[in-house]
Amino acid sequence: MRGFILLISGPSGAGKSTLLKKLFEEFAGELYFSISSTTRAPRDGEIDGVHYHFISQEKFQNGIKNGDFLEWARVHENFYGTSLEHTNRALDEGKIVVFDIDVQGFKIAKENLGDKIDSIFITAKNKEELKKRLLKRNTDTIAQLDKRLKNASEEMRELGEYDYLIINDNLEKSYEALRSIFLSLKHKTKRQNIEQIRNLWNEGV
Ligand code: ADP
Ligand code: 5GP
């Protein structure tokens, strides 16, 4: 398998992490989650080095200066960035690297990595439903929630730039869509190591 990037974006609260969790449960050995660095404080249940690398503003700024990030962006007043080194290593190892990043990061990653990226935009059916989910998740203050909803409308303007779109209304159906997209990408001829497959074909005859 030749490594490639499965990049997911969409409004906060749309269900990206929920759907990705299911994909990682089913295809555990095949996927590599790109753990972003962020200056945001961890939420209850979030573990440093698992969900994010939670770092200080100073460390983040040093990372920018040192060119450590493939892309970075300021989202809802916090900084988020993707490690260049980890991404390149995983791609060289032929892994399928999963990014959960915002639309600004998508644009930069696309400029840098072009056809190594397949992208999916995941959203809720409307703003009202998104608000309900954010309230249910209960991780934001009212001011933060307002910011996320405003940002969601801006992100929705960019959905036409993505290869695939999932409107996450029914969770099971959305997972079926994500799973199908993943399997289809994995089986693309250009993702396969054709030479190796041909060599194996002739072995032992
Ligand atoms: P994101 O990663 O996009 O910010 P989450 O995966 O954290 O979003 O989901 C936000 C909330 O919405 C969570 O409480 C999750 O359980 C819930 N949720 C996810 N998908 C659905 C769905 N299809 N229907 C109803 N609630 C959902
Ligand atoms: P949250 O605070 O809800 O975890 O994430 C907020 C937003 O930041 C989401 O849209 C998420 O996709 C995005 N995000 C997470 N990591 C990165 C990253 O490394 N780079 C960019 N550009 N966005 C990220």
- Does residue 105 carry a pLDDT above 80? yes
* 22: DSSP letter: H
Torsion of CA 173, 82, 138, 50, to 10 degrees: 90
Q: What is the pTM of this model?
A: 0.93
How many alpha carbons fall within 13 Å on the CB side of residue 147? 10
Going from the Cα of 133 to the center of ligand 1, the distance in angstroms, rounded, reads: 6
Whether the CB of 73 sits within 6 Å of ligand 2:
yes
Q: How many A from CA of 204 to the centre of ligand 2?
A: 49
Q: Which CATH architecture has domain 4-202?
A: 3-Layer(aba) Sandwich (3.40)
Going by DSSP bridges, is the β-strand pair 69-75/78-83 parallel, antiparallel, or unpaired?
antiparallel
Q: What percent of the chain has pLDDT over 90?
A: 81
